[in-house]
Structure formats: C-alpha cells, structure tokens
C-alpha cells in the first residue's frame, strides 16, 4: 500500500506536532490502517524531540513541508 502524503507548514500552526499527528492519522484511517496509526502515535509520544517525531511519522506517511524547513 502506498504511503499517503501530508502537507504542512513548519512556520505556521500546521507545524505543530499534534496537528501533524492528526493529519497523518486521518490519512492512515482513510486507508484503514488503524493499527499503524496507533503504533505511530505511541512511538511519536515516546520520542525525545521534534525531529525524531517527524522521522517516525515519515515511516508511515510522506511529509511535505511547504515552507521547506524540515
């Protein structure tokens, strides 16, 4: 199954990690990948940094930063 794409702006409100998790969750739910979402969410919450959290999310969805920062 192809990874869904989530776009965000790292310099705006959509750069908030909780917003990104929510959008990634919506995209995964559309593909009926609830277990993947739950695993991703738990791993992100246990991560130690924003950068680490983004790397975990990128394992499940393609993240595109429209501001080109991360």
Per residue in 37-59, pLDDT (tens digit) is: 999 999 999 999 999 999 999 99
pLDDT, residue 8, reads: 94
Q: Is the per-residue pLDDT at 28 higher than 80?
A: yes
Output the pTM of the full model.
Answer: 0.90
Q: Could you count the other beta carbons within 10 Å of the beta carbon of residue 65?
A: 17
Burial of 45 (0-12, 13-18, 19+ CB in 10 A): exposed
pLDDT, residue 70, reads: 67
């Amino acid at each position: 199954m192809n990874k869904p794409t989530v776009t965000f702006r790292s310099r705006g409100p959509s750069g908030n990690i909780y917003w990104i998790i929510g959008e990634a969750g919506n995209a995964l739910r559309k593909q009926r990948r609830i277990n993947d979402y739950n695993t991703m969410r738990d791993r992100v919450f246990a991560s130690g940094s924003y950068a680490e959290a983004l790397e975990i999310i990128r394992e499940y969805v393609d993240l595109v930063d429209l501001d080109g920062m991360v």
